[in-house]
Amino acid sequence: MPTDVPIACSCGTVRGVARGVSADRGNRLVCYCDDCQSFAHFLGRANEVLDAHGGTDISQMSAARLKITKGEDHLACIRLKAGGLLRWYTDCCNTPIGNTLASRQIPFVGLIHCCMDHDSGGGSRDTVLGPIRAGVNGRFAKGDRSQIEAHDATPPSMLLRIVPMLLMARLRGEHVRSPFFDPETGETRATPRVLTAEERQRVEAARDAR
């Protein structure tokens, strides 16, 4: 049954809701890629975001399901490198929110677990979001990789699941209701900042030392 899941940053300055969330309406995975790990280290939140093997629990859905109700002006985003995904967080307390494409034309967001209050309705994360369908980019995982079930890259089965969902969302006009893009101009709510070479080096050193 679809559930509305509260969204909040650690300090409560930014709040919102992911509406109509269910296992059938999204795609939950654990991503072990080095960029997701770098993002967590950039924020200084690696211990909260990443699991023991460097994985990030992500729920992919239409961005139109997410509504920011408070503190929208505290949304910020970076790109780890030019041309990379937009990685959104709150500038008040460095809580990660999620990842989007650079254009609103495909209404996609990969929400990161630690901004979602799964327990507010009395259900577990698995109950609210559904089971983890796959681990992806496992070649970047930390430690003993035999302890995780993960594909080296993103398997076609995951793309075959999420792409039709997002295309249908686009046909329904949901791209204009993304909280990350202005509905009139299509411009991002916050100007993306690309990390400098020095910043990337510091983040990657912290990531690789974990």
pTM of the model: 0.94
pLDDT of residue 55: 98
**Model confidence at 139: pLDDT above 80:** yes
pLDDT digits (tens, 9 = 90+) for 169-197: 999 999 999 999 999 999 999 999 999 99
Beta bridge partners of 188: 181
Share of the chain above pLDDT 70, in %: 98
DSSP string, the chain: --EEEEEE-TTSSSEEEEEEE-GGGSEEEEE--HHHHHHHHHHT-HHHHB-TTS-EEEEEEEGGGEEEEE-GGGEEEEESSTT--EEEEETTT--EEEEE-SSTTS-EEEEEGGGB-GGGGT--HHHHH----EEE-GGG--S-GGGS---SS--HHHHHHHHHHHHHHHHTTGGGG-TTB-TTT--BSS--EEPPHHHHHHHHHHHHH-
Q: Is CATH 2.170.150.70 what the domain over 3-209 is classified as, yes or no?
A: yes
pLDDT on residue 128:
84
Domain boundaries of the chain, sorted by first residue:
3-209
φ, ψ (nearest 5 deg) of residue 39: -60, -45
Tell me: pLDDT of 63 over 70: yes
